[in-house]
Amino acid sequence: MMRLITLTLLLIFCSLSSAADEGTVKYTLKVTDANHHLADVSVRFPETAPGKFVVQLPAWRTGKYKILNLANGISHFKAFDGNGHQLSVTKIDKSSWQIDVEKRGPVLIGYQLYANQLSDRARHIDDSHLFLDASAGFVYNATYRMSPLQVDLQVPSAWKSRSGMNKVGVHSFVAKDYDQLVDSPIESGIHKFKQFSVEDRQYELVVWGDGNYDLDVIAKDLIKLDGAAKDFWQQFPFKRYVYMVHVAPGLRGATEHLNSTIIHSEPYRFTKRKDYLGFAQIAAHEFVHTWNVKHYRPVGIARYDYQQENYTPSLWIAEGSTSYIQQLLGVRSGTITKKEFLAALAKSINSYMHKAGRKQMSVARASFDAWIGHENDDMSNSTVSIYQEGMLATLVLDYEIRKRTENKKSLEDLHRALYAKVTKEHKGFSESELLKLLSDITGTSFNDFWYAYVHGTDELPLSETLAFYGLELKPEKDALKAWSGLTVTNHNSFALVSSVEKDSPAWQAGLARGDLIISQQNQKAGSDLVERFADYKEQDRVELQFFRKNRLKKATLQLSNNPFPKQKIVPKEGLDSTISARFKSWAGQDLMEATSAE
């Protein structure tokens, strides 16, 4: 087996030696065993001086703030000089290899790649396609990180290859440097494909996998999204954009890239309105990232360090502001209705009010700690999300800009200024620079705002913010009055506790995440347990039996009044033309036609 791999690589090296342009790093990937997710990868680095030559694979990929240890898919690592003479290789850490270069000339590297990490949107090979985020498959050398490069794929003849990179052959691409390469995923295989354009911008929609999607419907909404983005930023950082979509059971999530995105979806989540909205909003989120993160981003991640965590207190702007803008573009473009827009906002507010972590952690701290993941039993009680709380902080920031300028300026002006600043200076923005831009836009200082709501845990003035647009929060008719503080999911037809709100009745009763509740008042407890509490009154006592680590236990739950009943957002009564104009400048639609969100 090793001899076969080595022979294959040497043959590839011979072709690389003659074909590679001077100064160009050349990558070749050959699918060798699609059924078992295997490929051979070869890399040719140009003229290299004698000595220690180190190549590395990133420990994480852009768009996912988590150490993934991607080098676990590399094996049979070999290195050769330009004459095919094998060089000594030493692995010096989990994702770095040191090569002893004996004389000046090109260095040729080969290894086997196992590609079956689809859920992380990192790499995947089977008999129908190849997907590769280059950070999960192509090593680099720090000296050549900014050098031009070429990628050649050797794949089945029936496959088509797509990427945000420029194409120079049927299965060949070029990039200006390694940073562009790892931010331009490659999809090669059997696809559904649609191409369309808006003005001078070309779009490609590439879908791998079968499902109940309609490419024409999706393209129609993506065109609307383009128009809303043009109104927001007034300029585009690309001429061509590629939407890559993977459709298969169990897939979810998405990742932004320079001029492309990779979106994951279940096969049959495209026809029901609620399901399609989820897909459309994810597409909008990743599209917004083309500006906010890919063109301008906080200084802590302005030039990626691929080998370790990249820290910044401003990831809430990268993700939370993107979530906010995606909703604005959705309602302004008409891809979501006013009712859906207000319902989504109300849902976020309801979740925020029941998250005790908002009193414990600021969005700046959540940004810095994003690499930890906060995957623990007490997550909702001790942390906040850079997405949800970051979105609400941005909602309030937008309101503050509008209020201080009599609605003459808004969040758009801030993001246009960030776009112009980074375009001119080619570097990330710091918090002090962001505050300077806000001061320039509004003529006022945002230092107190930053202290209270970004680095502090002061309660966000959400009611005040909504009132500015002629809106208010009102309790839902079906809001539960008897409150437990429990959230449960179904587990073998019983109620598995997924969260317990701090200081709630369930918390006081000693219940914890992971408890399996089997009975309530001597009756079987199922996943509808929380809904059943609607039959009770405040102060009623409920006897529960539950298993904790296979031990049967009992608890008495005394229900109380819900301090934050589920609310909806509705128009206020007696609105004047000024407030109506504010709403239209914000949501792009008439307020008086807005219906209550349910």
Closest to 566 measured CA to CA, from 470, 474, 460:
474
pLDDT at 423: 78
Encode pLDDT of 58-103 as tens digits.
Answer: 999 999 999 988 999 999 999 999 999 999 999 999 999 999 999 9
Q: What integer best gives the mean pLDDT of the chain? A: 93
Q: For 424-526, where are the E strands, in sequence order?
A: 471-475, 482-483, 486-491, 494-500, 516-520, 523-524
Amino acid at 386: I
Encode pLDDT of 28-44 as tens digits.
Answer: 999 999 999 999 999 99
* Alpha-carbon radius of gyration of the chain: 27
- DSSP 3-state assignment of 122? coil
40 beta partners: 30, 112
Q: Is pLDDT of 20 > 60? A: no
Model's pTM, two decimal places? 0.93
pLDDT at 9: 53
Q: For 155-268, where are the E strands, in sequence order?
A: 160-163, 166-169, 172-175, 186-189, 192-198, 201-208, 240-247, 254-256, 260-265
φ and ψ at residue 23, rounded to 5 degrees: 85, -5
Structure tokens at 549: 């680590």
pLDDT at 479: 64
Encode pLDDT of 251-265 as tens digits.
Answer: 999 999 999 999 999
Alpha helices in 130-242 (DSSP H): 178-182, 215-233
Amino acid at 518: I
- Tell me the mean pLDDT in the region 323-343: 97
Q: What share of the chain in percent tops pLDDT 70?
A: 94
- Tell me the mean pLDDT in the region 38-52: 96
- Tell me the mean pLDDT in the region 306-316: 95
Encode pLDDT of 256-290 as tens digits.
Answer: 999 999 999 999 999 999 999 999 999 999 999 99
Q: Using CA atoms, how far apart are residues 56 and 70, in angstroms rounded to an integer?
A: 11
| CB-CB contact of 192 with 215 (8 Å) | yes
pLDDT at 78: 98
Structure tokens at 415: 């993001």
pLDDT at 561: 86
Encode pLDDT of 567-591 as tens digits.
Answer: 999 999 888 889 999 999 999 999 8
Q: What share of the chain in percent tops pLDDT 90?
A: 84
Encode pLDDT of 420-467 as tens digits.
Answer: 988 777 789 999 999 999 999 999 999 999 999 999 999 999 999 999
| CB-CB contact of 231 with 152 (8 Å) | no
Q: Using CA atoms, how far apart are residues 522 and 520, in angstroms rounded to an integer?
A: 5
| CB-CB contact of 423 with 235 (8 Å) | no
Higher pLDDT: 110 or 19? It is 110
Amino acid at 336: I
- Per-residue three-class SS string for 502-565: CCCHHHHCCCCCCCEEEEECCEECCCCHHHHHHHCCCCCEEEEEEEECCEEEEEEEECEECCCC
Q: Using CA atoms, how far apart are residues 471 and 469, in angstroms rounded to an integer?
A: 6
Reported as a pLDDT band with limits 50, 70 and 90, residue 21 is: low
Q: Which structural domains are found in the chain, ordered by start?
A: 2-188 (2.60.40.3650), 192-282 (1.10.390.10), 315-469+572-593 (1.10.390.10), 482-561 (2.30.42.10)
Phi and psi based region of residue 550 (left: phi greater than 0; alpha: psi -120 to 50; beta: remaining): left
